[in-house]
Amino acid sequence: MNINKNALDFTVAGAIPPDSTELIKQITSEIESDIKTLEHALEHGSMTKAGWRLLAAFYLGTKRVSDFNSLTQQYEDNFDAPIFAELQQDQSSRKTFRIVFEIPQKIIHNSLPDITAVCKACVTPTGALIDFSSVRGADKSGLKTLTQFLSQLPHDHTRPETPGLSRFISKLEKMADSKEGTEEIWSLLFEYQRFCNDTHTFDELSIKYAIRFGISPPVW
């Protein structure tokens, strides 16, 4: 990044702090440029492990949660390890005693854990983990059930960990753009972005929805 460090030094005699709005715009522009550079390196196979972690951090910092989830899954597929393995090791004691809820291979009506029990587990000191790693599909009623389930989960710091969910959502995203893209799939995709607090991807999804169906998309 090419931010002028002197512009941030307000200790110099007579220095006038710059307009914060302009400074934020400058930093944001630099970050977006760095993201594009890292994405180009990733696309052409020249990315270092440090580059992977930096891009992941940028995605989180700019609230591109869907991109972050996709990148972390790519990293695990390539290196057979979590992208932030060191941080996960620090949290290992917390995960050891975390309450785990298993999701079946096919999600159907009434196949998900009791939402009251899940929400109670989320606010415990160890938190909750909802394991979607076995999920391979869902019927129409299952998609509706999962949409409602996600809408009732906490979206703050007590939000449960959901391994395997981003992979399932990625599969549904591909289906949404095809003839298989039912209203139930789109509703679930919107609810997932709310769950992730990802307004950027939600807005992109809204545009696709409006073009696809010719009606106003759901609101945040």
CA-nearest of 168, 166, 165, 173 to 189 is: 173
Alpha-carbon span 87 to 68, nearest angstrom: 16
pLDDT attached to residue 23 = 81
- Residue recorded with tokens 């869907």: 66
CB 69 within 8 A of CB 166: yes
Q: Is the pLDDT of residue 180 over 90?
A: no
- Please give the Cα distance from 69 to 196 (Å, whole number): 10
Query: What tens digit of pLDDT does each residue of 35-84 get?
Result: 999 998 888 888 888 888 899 888 888 878 888 888 888 887 777 677 87
Q: How many CB atoms lie within 10 A of CB 218?
A: 13
Least confident of 60-64, 90-94, 186-190, 198-202: 90-94
pLDDT-derived band of residue 196, with 50, 70 and 90 as boundaries?
A: very high
Reply yes or no on whether the pLDDT at 1 is more than 70: no
Tokens, residue 122: 């989320």
Give yes or no for residue 33 having a pLDDT over 80: yes
C-alpha triplet 59, 3, 86: angle, nearest 5°: 40
pLDDT bucket at 26, cuts 50 / 70 / 90:
confident
43-49 long-range contacts, CB within 8 A, separation 24+ = 49/79
What is the chain's mean pLDDT, rounded? 84
Q: Where are the domains of the chain?
A: 5-79, 93-213
Condensed to tens digits (0 to 9), the pLDDT of residues 105-139 reads 999 999 999 999 999 999 998 899 999 988 999 99
User: Where do we find the tokens 């270092």?
Assistant: 48
State the alpha helices, DSSP H only, in the chain.
20-43, 49-61, 65-79, 85-90, 92-96, 115-122, 140-152, 165-176, 183-195, 199-213
How do beta strands 128-131 and 99-102 pair?
parallel
Higher pLDDT, 82 or 199: 199
Residue linked to tokens 């949404």: 176
Rounded to whole angstroms, how far apart are CA atoms 25 and 205? 25
Q: 150 — phi, psi (to 5°)?
A: -65, -35
pLDDT for 19? 64
Lowest mean pLDDT among 15-19, 63-67, 196-200: 15-19
Region for 128 from its dihedrals, namely left if φ exceeds 0, alpha if ψ lies in -120 to 50, beta otherwise = beta
